[in-house]
Amino acid sequence: MTALTIQQAIFISSKLRAQLDNATEKFRTEFRVPIALNNKSIVTEEKNASVHETIGLIESLKSDISNLKTAVHRANCNAQIEFEDKLYTPSELLESLKIERNIVNMLEDNISFGYGQERIKAVAGVGIVEEGIVDELYVRSYIEQLESSANNKSMLIDRFNNEYTIEVALNNQI
């Protein structure tokens, strides 16, 4: 068993995923070749061994990635983080954080008037029209509140990921 922080496990999982992608890519490049000439095999035993070795590596990487992701998932579901005098699992905070960030992005996109979106327009036959968000100050205040909450949750999750240790069985050297 290997002891890792959540942050290390996430990083290693990403590296192993890249190795898995490289190993499977061999079947598109290195192993997809002419295999016979005039009904006679031209594949060497060395090439066969390389295919078997690559399949073994793929299985080993698959197992390690699964073990890492499962250990991270268990930690995120079972550990507790205090936020605003309540206990939450890291998964709850992560999901809440994602939702808050999406809401902030959506509201900011709709509240901002950029190029081609003038607030004040002269409309023929109507007059000067000003467009905006109803009770914009309230909406901006809400955005600030969500951003503050999201930033606090993000810092707590980062601290948790840096400090919480998990035990993982790995086949590959890290």
Query: Rounded to whole angstroms, how far apart are CA atoms 170 and 174?
Result: 9
Residues whose CB is less than 8 angstroms from the CB of residue 74 and which lie 6 or more positions away in sequence, other chains included: 166
Give the pLDDT of residue 116: 59
pLDDT at 117: 66
Q: What is the pLDDT of residues 37-81, one digit of tens each?
A: 999 999 999 999 999 999 999 999 999 999 999 999 999 999 999
Q: List the chain domain ranges.
A: 2-168
Distance from C-alpha of 25 to C-alpha of 32, rounded to nearest angstrom: 10
Q: Is the pLDDT of residue 16 over 90?
A: yes
Mean pLDDT to the nearest integer, 147-168: 98
58 touches 169 (CB < 8 A): no
Write down how long the chain is: 174
Backbone dihedral angles phi then psi of residue 82, each to the nearest 5 degrees: -85, 130
pLDDT digits (tens, 9 = 90+) for 129-150: 888 889 999 999 999 999 999 9
Rounded Cα–Cα distance for residues 136 and 31 (Å): 61
Instruction: Note the pLDDT tens digit of each residue in 91-125.
Output: 999 999 999 999 999 999 888 876 656 778 888 99
Residue 64 exposed, middle or buried by CB count within 10 Å (0-12, 13-18, 19+): buried
What pLDDT, on the 0 to 100 scale, is given for residue 140? 96
pLDDT reported for residue 122: 87
DSSP symbols for the chain = -EEEEHHHHHHHHHHHHHHHHHHHHTTTTTS-S--EETTEE---HHHHHHHHHHHHHHHHHHHHHHHHHHHHHHHHHH--EEETTEEE-HHHHHHHHHHHHHHHHHHHHHH---TT--SEEEETTTEEEE---TTHHHHHHHHHHHHHHHHHHHHHHHHHHHH-EEEE--SS--
